[in-house]
């Protein structure tokens, strides 16, 4: 990276999934009022940016990722005045607020889609993607991400419309210039209101190749026009505005694509969310085909991204979000035990696992994202009945899998590991009834197996075993250290089955290099001499000062200055 680095190279982002964060109005669903009451929790962590998952008007078929009015707040979450008040409070604490931007699709209840359905002659018709039937069927075999065909029949127009997610989420037609102009106007409206950028939902899906609509191939990701759209968006929305953050969610993006999307010269995006590392523990056909956690695969995958975006471009760093299982349950001691064939207690070495994973993530080069609840080491929900689940993807998959002959216990096991609801249980602020301070009433989804033992109050009072305090130290370190921000990354011992080790080195040698060593096993790991002999000052560790420097205790993670060879 040449020249002065952008502000977000030392920023840390905290993601709020509002319906599960805090309920301010006593209806069992989290909202803006609840978020506002708990802003100090986020500010205390030391993060720079809040990314707020959608709060726009929505029928909530996909928890707000189906938007029926891009310019207003859903009454479930509050009002536009409450939003403005929240924004003031966020800014007053020195943080920025980034909104979710969901413009691959809208809700089928959006006035645009209602108009589009009126007739083929209506100008809004072309704002969505329609095809005539082919031999009385869908125009191709594309499948929707949440099950079923990607096409739904509209009797009024006698056509099929495209939806890559649920039928309630029709895809917008980015080939239509009026649609694009309307989206840019809406984005400018939010930026004028004071928001600081966007996290762009499945943004690499917006360019579809009309020709390939007929051949059933994956003609909807990474079509060349995506770069035109993003460059135009940059010019029409972001150019001339300072200190924004733009991050594009991009399932299927490769390192080479990401280098293009995030090359500052190309004026597209600041960073992207890639999916490679969160796709390693499932089979190719469905994410519900769970595979055991494989550390060498995970660390070498992330290392490839580090190297691939070292010269130009930038990484976002995440292990979790509202679509992914909890990292402690997925990559922590319980997951490693399960991969070795043991029946694991979900709370095994939870503090150690949570802090180790955070250490490794935050010490990579890129912008780290902390998903709400991970800062206190929350675990998967532990739901055992289908009635406990709320997520449309999980419910659809379960119905389909059982219909295809999967046994109910097997389908429930798959959900228990993979369902998005694992990350959507309410933030347990304390151990009070009925919902741990999240709400005064029964919440929209169960509290999960972690509650009441895991709570914000308990974690923040846990002294040197507070996951929250460990995160705060990691964030402080990034703010203080140029090496953490910008140092070159080198993976050490790539094939070691339980050691995750890497160095960070500034080319100009203005600060000493750092080494990160982490033991993802329940046995002591002896560091190879080439690492152990070079450990100097301990910068940070999750288990305090070690007695023997070149041995790592189970689930110990340390950052040291790295001496000469």
Q: Is 65 in the site for ligand GLC (CB under 6 A)?
A: yes
543 binds ligand GLC (CB under 6 A): no
Question: Which residue's CB atom is positioned nearest to ligand GLC?
Answer: 65
Q: Are 98 and 55 in contact (CB under 8 A)?
A: no
Q: How many of the chain's residues bind ligand GLC (CB under 6 A)?
A: 9
Strands 245-249 and 271-273: parallel
Catalytic choice (10, 62, 249, 469): 249
Cα separation of 463 and 482, whole Å?
28
Q: Report how far apart, in Å, the C-alpha atoms of 482 and of each of 5, 317, 508, 513, 515 are.
A: 11, 17, 11, 10, 14
Minimum CB distance to ligand GLC smaller for 65 or for 190:
65
* DSSP tally for the chain: helices H, then strands E: 17, 20
Q: Where on the phi/psi map is residue 280: left (φ > 0), alpha (ψ -120 to 50), or beta?
A: alpha
Q: Give the DSSP letter of residue 237.
A: I
Q: How far is Cα 304 from Cα 317, in angstroms, rounded to an integer?
A: 13
Closer residue to ligand GLC (CB): 202 or 379 = 202
Shortest Å, Cβ 490 to ligand GLC: 32
83-142: which residues touch ligand GLC (CB under 6 A)?
Answer: 102
201 is catalytic: yes
3-state SS assignment for residue 330:
helix
Query: How far is the C-alpha of 559 from the C-alpha of 364, rounded, in Å?
Result: 12
81 catalytic? Reply is no
Tokens of 126: 């072309």
- Is 74 among the residues that bind ligand GLC (CB under 6 A)? no
Q: Which residues in the 231-290 window bind ligand GLC by CB under 6 A?
A: 249
Mapped onto helix, strand or coil, the DSSP state of residue 363 is coil
Q: Which is nearer to ligand GLC, 201 or 459 (CB)?
A: 201
For residue 553, the minimal CB distance to ligand GLC (Å) is 36
Shortest spacing between CB 52 and ligand GLC, in angstroms: 13
Q: Least distance (Å) from ligand GLC to the CB of residue 208?
A: 15
CA distance 417 to 399: 17
Catalytic residue among 31, 100, 171, 201: 201
Nearer to ligand GLC, 115 or 145 (CB): 145
Question: Strands, E, within 365-418: which ranges?
Answer: 367-371
What sign for the dihedral angle of Cα 353, 355, 358, 362? negative
Q: Are 142 and 221 in contact (CB under 8 A)?
A: no
The answer to whether residue 165 forms part of the interface with ligand GLC (CB under 6 A) is yes
Q: Concatenated DSSP letters for 50-82?
A: EEEPP-EE---TTTTSS-SEEEEE-TTT--HHH
Distance CA 499, CA 519 (A): 5
State the nearest-atom distance from the C-beta of 411 to ligand GLC, in Å. 20
Q: Is 342 left (phi over 0), alpha (psi -120 to 50) or beta?
A: beta
What three-state secondary structure class fits 317?
strand
Residue 336 φ/ψ, nearest 5 degrees: -65, -40
Residue 421 engages ligand GLC in binding (rule: CB under 6 A): no
Of the two residues 365 and 418, which places its CB atom closer to ligand GLC in the complex?
418
Look-up of token digits 């340390």: 558
φ/ψ (deg, to 5) at 151: -120, 140
Tell me the closest approach of the beta carbon of residue 65 to ligand GLC, in angstroms.
3
CA dist 489 and 514 (Å) reads 10
Task: Kindly state the smallest distance separating residue 316's Cβ from ligand GLC, in Å.
Answer: 13
What distance in Å separates the CA atoms of residue 373 and residue 15, rounded to the nearest whole number? 10
- Decide whether 151 or 502 has the Cβ nearer to ligand GLC: 151
Residue with tokens 């110990």: 556
CB 39 within 8 A of CB 154: no
Nearest 5°: phi and psi at 252? 85, 0
CB 319, CB 329: distance < 8 Å: no
Instruction: State which of positions 179-238 bind ligand GLC (CB under 6 A).
Output: 201-202
By beta-carbon proximity to ligand GLC, the closer residue of 171 and 352 is 171
Nearer to ligand GLC (CB atom), residue 15 or residue 306: 15
Q: How far is the CB of 535 from ligand GLC (least distance, A)?
A: 40
Between 38 and 105, whose beta carbon lies closer to ligand GLC? 105
**Cβ atoms of residues 554 and 498 within 8 Å:** no
> 196, 270, 323, 375: which one contacts ligand GLC (CB under 6 A)?
323
Of the pair 220, 502, the CB lying nearest ligand GLC is at 220
Residue 62 interacts with ligand GLC (CB under 6 A): yes or no: yes
User: Residue numbers of the site for ligand GLC (CB under 6 A)?
Assistant: 62, 65, 102, 165, 201-202, 249, 322-323
List active site positions.
Answer: 201, 249
């Amino acid at each position: 990276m040449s020249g002065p680095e952008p502000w977000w190279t030392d920023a840390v982002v905290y993601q709020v999934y509002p319906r599960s964060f805090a309920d301010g109005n006593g209806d069992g669903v989290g909202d803006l009022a609840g978020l506002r009451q708990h802003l100090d929790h986020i500010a205390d962590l030391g993060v720079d940016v809040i990314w707020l998952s959608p709060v726009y008007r929505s029928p909530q078929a996909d928890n707000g990722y189906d938007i029926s009015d891009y310019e207003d707040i859903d009454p479930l979450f509050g009002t536009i005045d409450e939003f403005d008040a929240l924004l003031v409070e966020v800014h007053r604490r020195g943080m920025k607020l980034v909104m979710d931007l969901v413009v691959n699709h809208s809700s089928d209840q959006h006035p645009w889609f209602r108009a589009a359905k009126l007739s083929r002659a209506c100008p809004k018709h072309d704002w969505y993607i329609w095809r005539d039937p082919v031999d009385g069927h869908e125009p191709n075999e594309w499948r929707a991400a949440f099950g079923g065909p990607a096409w739904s029949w509209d009797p009024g127009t006698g056509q099929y419309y495209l939806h890559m997610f649920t039928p309630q989420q029709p895809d917008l037609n980015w080939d239509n210039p009026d649609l694009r102009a309307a989206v840019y106007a809406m984005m400018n409206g939010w930026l004028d209101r004071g928001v600081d950028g966007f996290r762009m939902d499945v943004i690499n899906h917006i360019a579809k190749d009309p020709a390939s609509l007929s051949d059933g191939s994956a003609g909807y990701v990474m079509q060349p026009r995506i770069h035109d759209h993003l460059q135009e968006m940059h010019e029409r929305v972001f150019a001339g505005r300072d200190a924004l953050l733009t991050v594009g969610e991009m399932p299927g993006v490769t390192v080479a694509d990401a280098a293009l999307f995030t090359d500052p010269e190309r004026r597209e995006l600041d960073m992207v969310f890639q999916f490679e590392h969160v796709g390693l523990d499932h089979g190719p056909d469905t994410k519900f085909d769970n595979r055991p956690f494989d550390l060498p695969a995970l660390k070498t995958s992330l290392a490839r991204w580090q190297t691939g975006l070292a010269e130009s471009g930038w990484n976002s760093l995440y292990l979790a979000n509202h679509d992914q299982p909890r990292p402690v349950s997925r990559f922590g001691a319980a997951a490693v035990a399960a991969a070795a064939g043991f029946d694991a207690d979900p709370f095994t070495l939870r503090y150690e696992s949570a802090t180790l994973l955070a250490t490794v993530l935050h010490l990579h080069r890129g912008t780290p994202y902390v998903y709400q609840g991970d800062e206190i080491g929350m675990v998967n929900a532990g739901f055992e009945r289908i009635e406990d689940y709320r997520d449309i993807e999980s419910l659809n998959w379960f119905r389909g899998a059982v219909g295809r002959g999967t046994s109910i216990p097997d389908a429930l096991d798959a959900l228990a590991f993979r369902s998005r609801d694992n990350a959507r249980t309410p933030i347990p602020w304390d151990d009070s009834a009925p919902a741990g301070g999240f709400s005064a009433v029964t919440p929209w989804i169960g509290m999960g197996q972690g509650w009441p033992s895991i709570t914000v109050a308990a974690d923040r009072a846990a002294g040197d075993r507070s996951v929250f305090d460990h995160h705060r130290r990691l964030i402080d370190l990034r703010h203080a250290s140029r090496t953490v921000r910008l140092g070159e990354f080198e993976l050490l011992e790539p094939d070691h089955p339980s050691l995750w080790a890497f160095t960070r080195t500034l080319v100009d040698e203005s600060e000493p290099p750092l080494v990160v060593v982490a033991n993802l096993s329940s046995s002591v790991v002896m560091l190879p001499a080439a690492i152990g002999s070079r450990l100097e000052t301990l910068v940070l560790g999750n288990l305090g000062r070690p007695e023997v420097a070149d041995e790592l205790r189970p689930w110990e993670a340390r950052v040291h200055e790295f001496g000469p060879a």
